[in-house]
Amino acid sequence: MKKRLGYLLLTMAGFTAAFAAQPARTFADDPATTLRGYTEVDRIIHERIARTNGFELGQYLGDDSTQPSEGKLLALLGTYVGSDTNGGYRNGDPNSVNTLLWYIALSQFAQDIADTCNKPEPVPTPSVVPMPSSTPSSIASASPSGTPELQATAEASPSPSPSPSESPPAQLAVRPTFHAALMPLCKWPADSAKSDTALYNYYTALLSFDAPPEEFAAWKDYFLNNAQYANAPASTALPAMTLAALFNPYFLLRN
């Protein structure tokens, strides 16, 4: 209770705007809250992480639409459908399909964030960064050395080639503020990357104050002490750290 109250105060202080737009749900209407849905998560990611350059989270699911439409995978991540009496928020209850889809999207997104370590600091003004047509998408070109532990069996599954008919998606370009929080972590496993300040800055750059302190503590403890990641290079640890932060209920669920 105390945890939730503390979280509520933090939220009210800093992020009321983000939550004000959410429709009120009562326990009587629905005993469990729902996934935030694609549109909201995509908006949050652009507020905190990604610059507005044509990049959309949905491109990791083969759809760079800004709004999910029925029949497409993005709609399965939670979306509003219809305006009649049976209209409403659909596919927002966590199920194996939308959870899998979030995992697919966020694990690729985490890899692209980690790859940013090797890119120059972004210019402060938003600009379009088109991907050369001859260059494979960063989505499909994740370095094997940069795979988190979950990728142990991924080698057997070859990455699909982009369809010739698909225009290349815009490459992820991060916001300067996010870049500043990311850079110290790029030096992982150096001590400087493991400082409380560096870890906290990166964690809040991803989740803002959405999650209570216990979540940051658990995340930090896991990566500082896990044998797989504690001394691994950033190319291995950072995708996993990013995925672990984003694949948290406080990021994906309405609260």
Partner 1 sequence: MTTINRRQFVKFGLNASAGLVLFPTLSNPLFASVTQGASKGGDEDPHFFLMITLQDPTGLDNSYMFDSRPLEMTQKGIIQNYRGTDPNVWTGSNGVSTLATDMIKPLIPFRQYFSVLNGVVMDTGFDGHDQNYNYLFTGDPTGGECFIPHLNVGSVTALDAIQKGPFRVAQTNGQGSVPLSPSAAHTLISKLGSIPALNPSTSLFNHLMGRFAANSPSGTGGTGAFSLASGQMGSAFQASSSLSQMLTKIQTDGVDSNAGFIQMISQFFKTGAAKAAILTLEMPQGVVFDTHDHTNAALQPTNFTTLTSSIAEVFAALRDTPYDDKRSLFDVTTVMFSTEFGRTLRQDGIPIDQSGTNHNPLSNSILIGGKGIKGGQVVGSSDYASATETLSGAHLAFDASKQKAMGRPFDFDLGVSRTDIPTEYKATDYLGVNSIVNTIYSAFGVSSTKYRLVERNGVTASVIKTLLS
Q: State which of positions 78-117 bind partner 1 (CB under 8 A).
A: 81-82, 84-88, 90-91, 93-101, 103-104, 107-108
The nearest distance, CB 192 to partner 1, in angstroms, is 24
Quote the least distance from Cβ 126 to partner 1, whole Å.
27
17 Cβ contact list (under 8 Å, min separation 6): none
Between CA 111 and CA 48 the distance in angstroms is 17
Q: C-alpha angle 253/248/21, rounded to 5°?
A: 30
> Amino acid identity, residue 135?
T
Q: What DSSP line would sit under 186-245, residue for residue?
A: TTTTSGGGGSHHHHHHHHHHHHTT-S-HHHHHHHHHHHHH-TTTTTS-HHHHHHHHHHHH
User: Which of 19, 118, 123, 149 contacts partner 1 by CB under 8 A?
Assistant: 149
Segment near partner 1 (CB under 8 A); pick from 41-49, 145-153, 181-189, 200-208: 145-153
Q: Which of residues 171-200 bind partner 1 (CB under 8 A)?
A: none
Q: Which stretch binds partner 1 (CB under 8 A): 14-22, 44-52, 191-199, 242-250?
A: 242-250
Q: Using the minimum distance from each CB to partner 1, give the nearer residue, 201 or 248.
A: 248
Residues 19-78 that bind partner 1 (CB under 8 A): 25, 27, 30-35, 60-63, 70-73, 75-76
CB-CB contact of 80 with 67 (8 Å): no
Q: What residues pair up with 79 in beta bridges, in sequence order?
A: 90
Instruction: Give the residue with the Cβ less far from partner 1, 72 or 187.
Output: 72
